[in-house]
Amino acid sequence: MTNLVEEPISSSSDLLELAQYLDRLTGKPFQFARFSYGDELTLHFGDVRIEKLTKLVSLPYGEFMLGARASEVRRAKFDPAVRRLHFAEMPTAWSPPLTRADVESSPIFSSDCFVISALAFRVEPDVGFGFQLVMSSGEAVAILPDTSPDAEDEADDGLPDIADWEIFMPGGYLSAGPGLRWSFEKLPTSDDN
């Protein structure tokens, strides 16, 4: 078992700096969506490699892996010729929060599409950072921090709170939330197993 100490190399509420990390997703092809334990939606981009979870269990992972954690996920379609879609400007263009059944019955993105833009935005009134991903296929997803009335109660269940969304990427781990904060932590570039 390894015992890595992961020191934040950047932590801020500055959206511009956050945008620079998110820009690494631009141009990356969408590979697949998968659910992790707790019905967490994960989206995989870029090159795919098979990772050994144990000696007997292996799974494919994208080099960029977006995890929605416990946040709302919504989707929208737009005209790719226009290539302009922003959740904060047009919230009604987006679907209601998706369920696992929604995603399993209708793929989140078409095949053969890639990321046109990945950006974070403030969710008012200062709830946290939302995230939207716009694809070349005219499809988009938005991830929004949990604002349900139960969210505060759950925060008191004695367990440390979790990020609103996160991205594993080559060389690092980006996480946003809870609240208006984000961080980027440097991770080993090679498999440490």
Q: Does 178 bind other proteins (CB under 8 A)?
A: no
Q: Which region among 12-20, 24-32, 62-70, 110-118 touches other proteins (by CB under 8 A)?
A: 62-70
State which residue, 137 or 185, has the beta carbon closest to other proteins: 185
How far apart are CB 100 and other proteins at their closest, in Å? 6
Q: Does 6 bind other proteins (CB under 8 A)?
A: yes
User: Residues 32-61: x/- map of binding to other proteins (CB under 8 A)?
Assistant: --xxxxxxxx---------xxxxxxx-x--
State which residue, 124 or 157, has the beta carbon closest to other proteins: 157
Q: Which of 22, 1, 31, 4 is nearest to 129 (CA)?
A: 22
User: Using CA atoms, how far apart are residues 127 and 23, in angstroms rounded to an integer?
Assistant: 23
How far apart are CB 101 and other proteins at their closest, in Å? 9
Q: Angle CA(174)–CA(154)–CA(179) in degrees, nearest 5? A: 35
Task: Please report the beta strands in 6-39, taking only residues with DSSP state E, as ranges in sequence order.
Answer: 8-12, 30-36
Residues listed for the chain = 193
First to last CA, the chain: 9
Asked whether 65 and 44 are in contact (CB, 8 A), the reply is yes
User: Residues in the site for other proteins, rule: CB under 8 A?
Assistant: 1-4, 6, 34-41, 51-57, 59, 65, 67-73, 97-100, 103, 146, 151, 154, 157, 159-162, 168, 173, 185, 187, 192-193
